[in-house]
Structure 1
Amino acid sequence: MSASPTGPRLSVIVPVKDEEAAIGPFVARVGRVLDGLTEPDGAPLAWEILFVDDGSGDGTLAAIMQAHQADRRIKALSLSRNFGKEAALSAGLDNAHGDAVVPIDVDLQDPPEVIGDMLDKWRDGHEVVYGVRRDRQTDSLPKRMTADLYYRAHNWLSSDKIPEHAGDFRLLDRKVVEVIKVMPERNRFMKGLFAWSGFRQAAVEYDRAERAVGTTKFNYWKLWTLAIDGITSASTVPLRVWSYLGALVALFALIYAGFVFVRTVLYGADVAGYPSLMIATLFLGGVQLLSLGVLGEYVGRILVEVKHRPIYVIRQRIGDEA
């Protein structure tokens, strides 16, 4: 691979954490793919790969430095600590220079060969071209079921619909990137931000491969936290639902009070049992605690937002133009 004398036309953003072994295979495969891309006039496509090292504790940054020394189009940002994938992806978008930007994971489960199809649709006038997994057989059954449930729940609760089985792997026009960059929120759910931005969108289907190198850094707890962030950042329905639930409980209480009054007038007073009283008390106590928990999720996000801390902190840059 030889460096292009012109500025990048395409930027590939790669958030990484503790992926030392995956850097070499990724650069080799993606570099070949990008070198094979051309402009409509047949000229080679100018590109850059921008890694975002999200606080790795292994030799990931050294591996990126080695790749950069071999090809100056490979660049990197090293964050001061682990800020999370959404923050790392935001850092990449803020510092990418391409007219088109493609976020992709380093594990190569999303095939880089699809980038050519994305560019074709982009040149046809689409500002967002998202990849859709044709099937999720490479994922475990519990993960497939929970992912399907999440997409359905999110799209039911939010007006910003996320394409089902579409991840972060997509092509974004520079206009879309500029919109994302000015969004001020600190609690960032990138798929929701992509959906909110709108623009003309198109899909490209592909088959997702097994991960060849390394292990995933996402466990079910992190995925659950990401799901909560996604729903609370895109919808206020979880807050509103407790108003309706409270109204239903109050209505039921009034109906039951009327029933007790009529029964007492007709048949006289009786002594209610303690089990029914305990059930009602525990049920209403649980509902109140659950509603307070939902409210606390939103209040916690308000606290993070009003602090106005930066989404990420860059410790080091690799590459003159990174």
Structure 2
Amino acid sequence: MVMKLISIVLPVFNEEAGIQVTIDTLLNYIEQQEEDYELIFVDDGSSDKSVPIIRRMLAQHSNIKLVEFSRNFGHQLAITAGLHYAKGDAVVVMDADLQDPPEVIPQMIKKWHQGYQIVYGKRKQRDGETFFKKFTAKMFYRTFEKIATIKMPLDTGDFRPMDRVAVNQLLKLHEKDPFVRGQVTWIGFKQTSVMYHRQERIAGETKYPLSKMIKLALDGITSFSMKPLQVVNIFSVVPLVSGVFYLGYMIASSSFNFAAVGITILLFTLGLLMLSIGIMGSYLGRVLDQVNDRPSYIVSKTEGFEERNKGIHSFDVRQINNN
């Protein structure tokens, strides 16, 4: 039987406090598995000692590989880059903070051997996260389910193995600012889930503050739903209808005050107008990113690979399709 190669892709951003534990844990995990493994760390512009630690371990272990971005391009593009460099028959995406426990991977790989091409981790519990983060995440997934054109599984992140066929199709998608977990759902294929307990970070702080959570949510919604634009169209008639009814009420009650009516309608209209412009601006921003035709990300250096390990590389969706 031909030995299967499993790639594990780990985006890294300022994980100095815990990256050594992560590497040691994964190396220990790999030693107990039947398949061959490679660990691909994608550094997303870290400013701490994450890269030197990875580089030191890379010199000792041939199955550790490193991709370095020229700057911070974002978590989702770091995943995309890792998928591009991965050579495995299956590719596992997981965070570098061990909140996604390696001991769940054998269950996922077993499902993959059974013929499932995508096996996503479904969180039954989330430790070490604030009530606010848990609540907003829950609300996002359920809102996304209602308005999106795809049925993305609830309470799932990017932790999942994907078959090589699915990975190849994923890399053909032409999006400059990808929402990976939505893309994985969109491409289809035979999918299933494995329940797991998401653990608390082993060290350091979350790299997804509120601002990045909001951006990720907006990227997901504007990538897979046109309903916000449809809502804007509905809102556009609300001020007019409200104005007509309010005007009728003022006349009928003999308390007509033109200034009060005018100011009320004006403020309401301006509020809806600003909301509409903001929503449409989000969509236009995505169009601008595509039209600018810049590389999706720039790789300054790679180590541990047999090829593409020298010089500076920039990748866009067209180059990904041709590789």
- TM-score with structure 1 setting the length: 0.89
Question: Does 2:205 match 1:215?
Answer: yes
CA spacing shift, 1:252–1:67, aligned 2, 3 Å: same
Identity %: 36
In our comparison, the structure showing a higher alpha carbon Rg is 1
Partner SS for 2:205 = coil
Of 300, 303, 306 in structure 2, the residue corresponding to residue 321 of structure 1 is: 306
Q: Give the counterpart letter for 1:13 in structure 2.
A: V
CA spacing shift, 1:85–1:270, aligned 2, 3 Å: closer
Larger deviation: 286-295 or 212-221?
Answer: 212-221
> Following the alignment from structure 2 to structure 1, what is the Cα–Cα distance between the partners of residues 258 and 24?
74
Is the CA contact (8 Å cut-off) linking 1:138 and 1:208 kept in structure 2?
no
Q: CA deviation at 1:151?
A: 0.5
Q: How does 1:168-247 map to 2 (within 5 A)?
A: 168-247=158-237
Structure 2 counterpart of 1:13: 9
Q: How does 1:98-113 map to 2 (within 5 A)?
A: 98-113=88-103
- Cα RMSD between the aligned structures? 2.0
- In structure 1, the gaps of 5 or more residues are 1-5, 39-44
Q: CA deviation at 1:10?
A: 0.2
> Following the alignment from structure 2 to structure 1, what is the Cα–Cα distance between the partners of residues 238 and 96?
49
> Following the alignment from structure 1 to structure 2, what is the Cα–Cα distance between the partners of residues 108 and 204?
17
Is the CA contact (8 Å cut-off) linking 1:8 and 1:48 kept in structure 2?
no
> Following the alignment from structure 2 to structure 1, what is the Cα–Cα distance between the partners of residues 127 and 32?
29
> Following the alignment from structure 1 to structure 2, what is the Cα–Cα distance between the partners of residues 253 and 162?
40
Q: CA deviation at 1:51?
A: 0.2
- In structure 2, the gaps of 5 or more residues are 308-323
Structure 2 counterpart of 1:26: 22
Is the CA contact (8 Å cut-off) linking 2:127 and 2:199 kept in structure 1?
no
Per-residue Cα deviation, 1:188-212 (whole angstroms, up to 9, x for no partner): 1111111111111111111111111
Q: CA deviation at 1:104?
A: 0.7
CA spacing shift, 1:271–1:140, aligned 2, 3 Å: closer
Q: How does 1:39-188 map to 2 (within 5 A)?
A: 45-188=35-178
Give 4+ residue runs of structure 1 displaced > 6 Å after superposition.
Answer: none
- TM-score with structure 2 setting the length: 0.89
Q: CA deviation at 1:7?
A: 8.3
Partner SS for 2:17 = helix
Partner SS for 1:50 = strand
> Following the alignment from structure 1 to structure 2, what is the Cα–Cα distance between the partners of residues 308 and 185?
11
Larger deviation: 136-145 or 63-72?
Answer: 136-145
Per-residue Cα deviation, 1:134-175 (whole angstroms, up to 9, x for no partner): 122432111111001100111111021221111110011111
Q: CA deviation at 1:23?
A: 2.2
> Following the alignment from structure 1 to structure 2, what is the Cα–Cα distance between the partners of residues 255 and 279?
13
Q: How many residues align?
A: 306
